[in-house]
Amino acid sequence: MQLLTSSVGRKVLMAITGQLMVLFVIVHMLGNSSIFIPGGINAYAEHLHALPPLVWAFRLVMGAAVAIHILFGIQLSLENRAANAESYAVKNLKRATLASQSMLYTGLLLLAFIIYHLLHFTIRATPDIIAGVDAQGRFDVFGMVTGSFSHGIIAFVYIAAMVVLFLHLSHGIQSFFQTMGWNNNKTLPVIGKIGTVAAVVLLLGYASIPLFIVSGILKG
Amino acid sequence: MTLTLHVWRQNGPKDPGKFETYEAKEVSPDQSFLEMLDEVNEDLIKAGKDPIAFDHDCREGICGMCSQVINGAPHGGMDRTTVCQLHMRMFKDGDTIYIEPWRARAFPIVRDLVVDRGSLDRIIEAGGYTSAHTGGIADGNAILIPKDDADYAMDAAECIGCGACVAGCPNGSAMLFTSAKVSQLAVLPQGVAEAARRVCAMTEELQAQGFGNCTNHYECQASCPKGVDVKFIAKLNREYLKSLCK
Amino acid sequence: MILDGKCPTGPIEKTWDKHRFDMKLVNPANKRKYKILVVGTGLAGGAAAASLGELGYNVEAFCYQDSPRRAHSIAAQGGINAAKNYPNDGDSIYRLFYDTIKGGDFRAREADVWRLAQVSNNIIDQCVAQGVPFARDYAGYLDNRSFGGAQVSRTFYARGQTGQQLLLGAYSALARQVKAGTVKMFPRTEMLDLIVVDGEAKGITVRDLVTGEVRSHVGDAVVLCTGGYVNVFYLSTNAMGCSVTAAWKAHKKGAFFANPCYTQIHPTCIPQHGDKQSKLTLMSESLRNDGRCWVPKSKGDKRAPGEIPEEERDYYLERKYPSFGNLAPRDIASRAAKEQCDDDRGVGPGGRGVYLDFAASIKRLSEDTIRERYGNLFEMYEKITDENAYKVPMRIYPAPHYSMGGLWVDYNCESNVPGLFVLGEANFSVHGANRLGASALMQGLADGYFVIPYTIANYLAKTAPGKVKADNPECKKSVDDVTNNMKKLMSINGKKTVSEFHRELGKLMWENVGMARSEASCKEAIRKIPEIREEFWKNVKVTGSGAEFNQQLENANRVADFLEFAELMARDSLYRDESCGGHFRVEHQMPDGEAKRDDEKFCHAAAWEFKGVNAEPELHIEPLKFENVHLAIRSYK
Ligand SMILES: Cc1cc2nc3c(=O)[nH]c(=O)nc-3n(C[C@H](O)[C@H](O)[C@H](O)COP(=O)(O)OP(=O)(O)OC[C@H]3O[C@@H](n4cnc5c(N)ncnc54)[C@H](O)[C@@H]3O)c2cc1C
Ligand code: HEM
Ligand code: HEM
Ligand code: SF4
Ligand code: F3S
Ligand code: FES
């Protein structure tokens, strides 16, 4: 109960759910990278969907995590804004970063992206989708993705979303360790760097897919 | 030197405030910032105007009374320096200086640059102590405390309760202040017995007083005139999670 | 009148224990019926309010800062004494007692000092239990260092912030009682009058510094813990708000003021930088453990310190006091510094400074060790002077620092006005004519934690609770007096600001009733103070109104009291026709410039009774008897 109402408790929930999402994003990125192996991504997708109960259990957990994360994210942010009612005429921040200050916005943008992304590749309701099967009769994820990303705008939207993700995580990953209390003055700068590096890796890993496709290096 | 000051003037908590502009003349580089303001005030009084109200007492950086945001930085932004310890040699002739009060909902403005920081006292009242009775106490050496623990406690105990961490925090959170006391007492054997209760009560009070939540901006440490480290916030979080297990 | 300190008799070791047994107790069930007003929440007041609240009394506590955590006790850097003898270097309660009596130049009461030394050990235990992070050694034991005037290491410390840590300990104990509801805290509330009903102290009149409201609080006893008065010199090491106001108002209502001329000038302060300065900063005298005081041997030597070779330096303290050297007591060290400067051998701008040199210690111990010991002091020094004391010697000069004089109290810490108790720096009791380093913190906490909880019961047990009600005519009269006084101040609308008057008074006092005094200088002060006071009441300018947050008005009230008090201080200096401790009358010195006491005529406390602002005060005497320590010439050679 304390977890749901107290300042630290809610933060811890946000950190755990955020971290779950980070883990997902890492795995998802690794999975998506199989696109660079011929036929890889189609095989990967088929493996994933082979066990529907597992898929749904996983979706349930992630859904809950996202919901908790968003709910508390918004609630905490509103409280913080109220606590800091009047702003300074001149501001000279020394350590707070653009990323740390825009967590709510980057988070909400991510939410928008996730909705779009689900409509796009999971529900496949967007007009650009080419839903076919590949030579082995598997659902052709590869074709769907390359087809979409050959549209400059869609590729751009994805890349932009990845930048937003980068911002969110460049603060979020190290923040997780601080919130969980796994920090001291020696580890803090190190974890800060690791967090940034991880966010950069994710940015490059993800953005490379639309980038390679739209630039024609990876052809459908 | 001559400086242009834009100073926040506000008669009371409910009044609208605004900036007034003053000129500080013949400022000597050896003067402290508050001594410079004293001179401005002397001129204002002689002109029959209300002097600028600001809090101060010890003027040696230890009582935590002085509290001004100077050019957007609490205490002026010099490393480990309170306003009263800030010297005018940090400024150049012709500089423009904005002076504002601590701004946070939990710190209502009393007048001009003076704010009410009673909310910090309330956080301590909620549990920032060991319940030692006066008298009937064992010898000070009865429990040995490793030097590292004593030093760690002292690092946390350096907090002067000025509230700059709140003023600097984009969330108006008093987490650094609270964590310093929680950490000091959690690491000492004398404080361990009440550690779980203390961390819960103090964080609850922090919320009740209208402070924001910590989202790890670390601006507080940069604002703190005693350099209190955000590692104590991590320690508070740790103590908090430990208390959940109880 | 001959005053009676009500000291218990018999062997000194037994006095406090016996007295505690002899005192009356208040029934636990009755305690909450008694309301105690504690004015001031520094070490003395904070400890007292917390302890009395814990006992079950109904306590109201007041301070002028926005939080009790900010009292000036917080600024104490060096440490706190206790006779624990942890280092096994020969300390004992008796030795601490002896050192304090001798340090005070035989002008304090033996029984009070004994008690102080006795409870000193409990204080350390108490503070440790509160979580005060005293310095520890690697084995985990409490660490000690030596401090001015002592040849044993009995000083406990918490980095350079001992006062802060002790005060935060007392503050946290107080916070606990506030939470428990036994203490009601009134911050930003200044006492401006004492209410005396039928000869007993039963209340105070205060001004709420935020709203400007003037109101009375009544209770069954009043405990003043309002600190010292050296801001009478304008420039001092005290906080800006420190004042004599509470004590002076009590004095005007009948409480005797004892030994006001005993003020301490601290030897290690940062020299003044210019005439716009508002206060002086103390560098803890613990620096003298590792720093060596010197000046150039030749007069008017303007070379940089590094260019003056060893043989052309005069390490004057080591030369004059070989056994104590740089650790000679404060009054001696201060006067020695002044002598060097008067002799045109001072250093730094204006020539009012001497060097405190760490080069030898840095060489012996390494810069890191010095940094570990005094890092924060060096930082503070650099912030103020822009000089790096690891590289060039510090410059120091004496500054007013502490007031040994204060309201007269008996052994129970009760003034001559029944029901009015005075603790900490505000009373006159234990330090005689000079206070040893690290003894004020000890006194404040001793009074607050371990004396008043017992002695106040002795008074309360004899008086019915709630004797005086809020509608007592004395309350209304007091509120009217205070209000009218302020109205008068506001209506003058003259040409000079409050601080101009304060500066003027301070300068006069520093020059005439400062480190060295003479019959002529005291008379000069007595002649001039009323002139300044008169001008103040004709020509001061205070803007704004009384019904709002008004710092000018606060200051004006305080300076008005200093202007009256200063005259008493000068009179006492004139009266005390001897030199002792911090009171140095140039007419009375040994051939080598040491203070020369006159035990025949002045082995007593001089307590003054107020007779009117422009009237001469009446003198009362409390003779001092020395049965355990023999009156001797204080020698630190
Ligand atoms: C810079 C410095 C360093 C020192 N270092 C040491 C040291 O190392 N060791 C040592 O033993 N001693 C030291 N001392 C001396 C020691 O700190 C003080 O003597 C001692 O702390 C005084 O405590 P106190 O409780 O009597 O008064 P204070 O701490 O001065 O408290 C006074 C209280 O009274 C309140 N008050 C005053 N007037 C009024 C009023 N009119 N109405 C309402 N409230 C009022 C104030 O708000 C405050 O709460 C030092 C002093 C200074 C100035
Ligand atoms: C879906 C919409 C999202 C919203 C509205 C949102 C909002 C927020 C907010 C307001 C914070 C608080 C800032 C802080 O505590 O530092 C936060 C933290 C965090 N977010 Fe998100 N976020 C969202 C999505 C995500 C996603 C998709 C991830 C991971 C891939 C993520 C990972 C994190 C992490 C790790 C933290 C740090 C938690 C901590 O401080 O301990 N968030 N988020
Ligand atoms: C370039 C970047 C990305 C690509 C190419 C991509 C691709 C895909 C594809 C192809 C699927 C459908 C898989 C399937 O149903 O077979 C999918 C699902 C999904 N993606 Fe992405 N994705 C990207 C980035 C992201 C990011 C950044 C997030 C999270 C913030 C995300 C969250 C999801 C989710 C939640 C699903 C649904 C999983 C499920 O079926 O439950 N994706 N993605
Ligand atoms: S943590 Fe630092 S900034 Fe915050 S109150 Fe304490 S000293 Fe001031
Ligand atoms: S700046 Fe604020 S958000 Fe946390 S780390 Fe410090 S309290
Ligand atoms: S006035 Fe005391 S810290 Fe600045």
Nearest ligand to the C-alpha atom of residue B81? 6
- CA C155, C160, C165, C167: dihedral to nearest 10 degrees? 80
Tell me the chain B residues in contact with residue C543 when contact means C-beta distances shorter than 8 Å: 44-45, 48-51
CB B67 within 8 A of CB B163: yes
pLDDT average, residue stretch B15-43 = 95
Tell me the chain B residues in contact with residue A188 when contact means C-beta distances shorter than 8 Å: 230-231, 234
Query: CB distance from C176 to chain B under 8 Å?
Result: yes
Matching residue, tokens 């402290």: B32
To test the contact with chain B by mutation, choose from A14, A81, A88 the residue with the greatest count of B C-beta atoms within 10 A, namely A88
pLDDT of C602: 97
CB-based contact B126 C179, cutoff 8 Å: yes
Tell me the chain C residues in contact with residue B48 when contact means C-beta distances shorter than 8 Å: 541, 543
Assign a CATH topology to domain B3-111.
Ubiquitin-like (UB roll) (3.10.20)
CB-based contact C544 B134, cutoff 8 Å: no
Residue minimizing CA distance to atom 38 of ligand 2? A15
The pairing of strands C263-269 and C394-403 is antiparallel
CB atoms within 10 A of CB B144: 15
Tell me the pLDDT tens digit for each residue of C424-441: 999 999 999 999 989 999
CB-based contact B39 C239, cutoff 8 Å: no
CA C195 – CA C595 distance, rounded (Å): 40
Instruction: Compute, in angstroms, the gap from residue B63 CA to the centroid of ligand 6.
Output: 5
Treating both helix axes as pointing N-terminal to C-terminal, what angle do A52-83 and A7-33 enclose, rounded to 10 degrees? 140
CB-based contact C125 B138, cutoff 8 Å: yes
Treating both helix axes as pointing N-terminal to C-terminal, what angle do B118-125 and B195-208 enclose, rounded to 10 degrees? 150
User: Is the confidence at residue B85, as pLDDT, over 80?
Assistant: yes
Amino acid letter at C296? P
What CATH number does the domain located at B117-243 have? 1.10.1060.10
Segment 54-83 of chain B within 8 Å of chain C by CB: 55-65, 80-81
pLDDT beneath 70: ranges in chain A: 220
pLDDT of A38: 85
CA geometry: angle A159, A164, A170, nearest 5 deg:
120
CB-based contact C172 B124, cutoff 8 Å: yes
CA A154 – CA A120 distance, rounded (Å): 10
**Which of the other chains make 3 or more beta carbon contacts under 8 angstroms with chain A?**
B
The pairing of strands C354-357 and C394-403 is antiparallel
pLDDT of A87: 87
Query: CB distance from B68 to chain A under 8 Å?
Result: no
Both tokens of residue C33? 């019926």
Instruction: Compute, in angstroms, the gap from residue A65 CA to the centroid of ligand 6.
Output: 46
- Site to probe by mutation for ligand 5, drawn from B217, B231, B233, B235 as the one with most ligand atoms within 8 Å of Cβ, is B217
Q: Where are any strands of DSSP class E within B113-161?
A: 114-115
CA C269 – CA A184 distance, rounded (Å): 37
CB C216 within 8 A of CB C270: no
CA geometry: angle B24, B27, B29, nearest 5 deg:
140
CA C396 – CA C237 distance, rounded (Å): 13
CB C413 within 8 A of CB C86: no
pLDDT of C591: 79
Mean of per-residue pLDDT scores for chain C: 95
A141 lines ligand 3 (CB under 6 A): yes
Segment 374-393 of chain C within 8 Å of chain B by CB: 379-380, 383-384, 386
Tell me the chain B residues in contact with residue A92 when contact means C-beta distances shorter than 8 Å: 71-73, 77
Segment 129-188 of chain B within 8 Å of chain C by CB: 129-135, 137-141, 144-147, 150-151, 153-154, 157-158, 160-161, 184-185, 188
pLDDT of C187: 98
A139 lines ligand 3 (CB under 6 A): no
**Ligand 1 cavity residues, CB under 6 Å:** C 39-45, 62-65, 71-73, 75-80, 162-163, 190-191, 225-228, 237-238, 242-243, 245-246, 282, 284, 401-402, 424-426, 437-441, 444
CA C427 – CA C409 distance, rounded (Å): 7
pLDDT average, residue stretch C36-48 = 98
CB atoms within 10 A of CB B241: 17
The percent of residues above 70 in pLDDT, for chain B, comes to 100
Tell me the pLDDT tens digit for each residue of C507-530: 999 999 999 999 999 999 999 999
User: Is the confidence at residue C149, as pLDDT, over 70?
Assistant: no
pLDDT of B3: 97
The pairing of strands C80-81 and C604-609 is unpaired
pLDDT of C148: 64
Q: Tell which residue, C612, C497, C554, has the closest CA to residue C240.
A: C554
pLDDT average, residue stretch C554-572 = 98
Q: Across-strand partners of C207?
A: C190, C214
pLDDT average, residue stretch C212-239 = 97
CA geometry: angle C297, C298, C304, nearest 5 deg:
85
Q: Which residue among C109, C330, C395, C558 is the active-site one?
A: C330
- CA C478, C480, C486, C487: dihedral to nearest 10 degrees? -170
CATH label, C265-401, candidates 3.40.50.720, 3.90.700.10, 3.30.110.40, 3.40.50.970:
3.90.700.10
**Which of the other chains make 3 or more beta carbon contacts under 8 angstroms with chain B?**
A, C
3-state secondary structure chain A: CHHHHCHHHHHHHHHHHHHHHHHHHHHHHHHHHHHHCCCHHHHHHHHHHCCHHHHHHHHHHHHHHHHHHHHHHHHHHHHHHHHCCCCCCCCCCCCCCHHHHCHHHHHHHHHHHHHHHHHHHHCCCCCCCCCCECCCCCECHHHHHHHHHCCHHHHHHHHHHHHHHHHHHHHHHHHHHHHCCCCCCCHHHHHHHHHHHHHHHHHHHHHHHHHHHHCCCCCC
CB-based contact C67 B188, cutoff 8 Å: no
Instruction: Compute, in angstroms, the gap from residue A47 CA to the centroid of ligand 5.
Output: 44
Q: Mapping DSSP to helix (H, G, I), strand (E, B) and coil, where does residue C510 land? A: helix
Mean of per-residue pLDDT scores for chain B: 96
Which residues, including other chains, have CB under 8 Å from residue A118's CB and lie 6 or more apart? none
Tell me the pLDDT tens digit for each residue of C465-491: 999 999 999 999 999 999 999 999 999
Specify the DSSP element, H or E, that contains C16.
Answer: helix C15-22
Tell me the chain A residues in contact with residue B216 when contact means C-beta distances shorter than 8 Å: 100, 171, 174-175, 178-179
A116-154 burial, b for 16+ CB within 10 Å, e for fewer? ebeebeeeeeeeebeeeebeeebbbbbbbbbbbbbeeeb
Distance from CA of B166 to the nearest CA of A (A): 9
What residue segments make up the domains of chain B, in order of their start?
3-111, 117-243
Segment 99-158 of chain B within 8 Å of chain A by CB: 100, 103-106
pLDDT of A179: 97
CB B137 within 8 A of CB C125: yes
Tell me the pLDDT tens digit for each residue of C105-118: 999 999 999 999 99
pLDDT of C286: 80
Q: Is C315 exposed, middle or buried (0-12, 13-18, 19+ CB in 10 A)?
A: middle
Tell me the pLDDT tens digit for each residue of C375-420: 888 988 998 999 999 999 999 999 999 999 999 999 999 999 999 9
Mean of per-residue pLDDT scores for chain A: 92
Assign a CATH topology to domain C12-264+402-461.
FAD/NAD(P)-binding domain (3.50.50)
Instruction: Compute, in angstroms, the gap from residue A121 CA to the centroid of ligand 3.
Output: 7
What residue segments make up the domains of chain C, in order of their start?
12-264+402-461, 265-401
Instruction: Specify the pTM.
Output: 0.96
pLDDT band at residue B245 under the 50/70/90 scheme:
confident
Q: Across-strand partners of C196?
A: C201
Segment 30-49 of chain B within 8 Å of chain A by CB: none
CB-based contact B144 C138, cutoff 8 Å: no
pLDDT of A220: 64
CATH label, A2-214, candidates 1.10.30, 2.20.28, 3.30.70, 1.20.1300:
1.20.1300
Instruction: List, as one string, the DSSP characters of C530-592.
Output: HHHHHHHHHHEE--S-SSS--HHHHHHHHHHHHHHHHHHHHHHHHH--S-BTTB-BTTSB-TT
What residue segments make up the domains of chain A, in order of their start?
2-214
Distance from CA of A83 to the nearest CA of B (A): 5
pLDDT of B151: 96
CA C524 – CA C517 distance, rounded (Å): 11
Residue minimizing CA distance to atom 3 of ligand 6? B61
- Site to probe by mutation for ligand 6, drawn from B33, B54, B65 as the one with most ligand atoms within 8 Å of Cβ, is B65
pLDDT band at residue B80 under the 50/70/90 scheme:
very high
B64 lines ligand 6 (CB under 6 A): yes
CA C555 – CA C1 distance, rounded (Å): 35
User: Is the confidence at residue B91, as pLDDT, over 70?
Assistant: yes
pLDDT band at residue C78 under the 50/70/90 scheme:
confident
Q: Across-strand partners of C282?
A: C269
Active site residue C69: no
pLDDT average, residue stretch C437-453 = 97
CA B69 – CA C72 distance, rounded (Å): 24
Nearest ligand to the C-alpha atom of residue B83? 6
Among chain A residues, the shortest Cα distance to B232 is held by A184
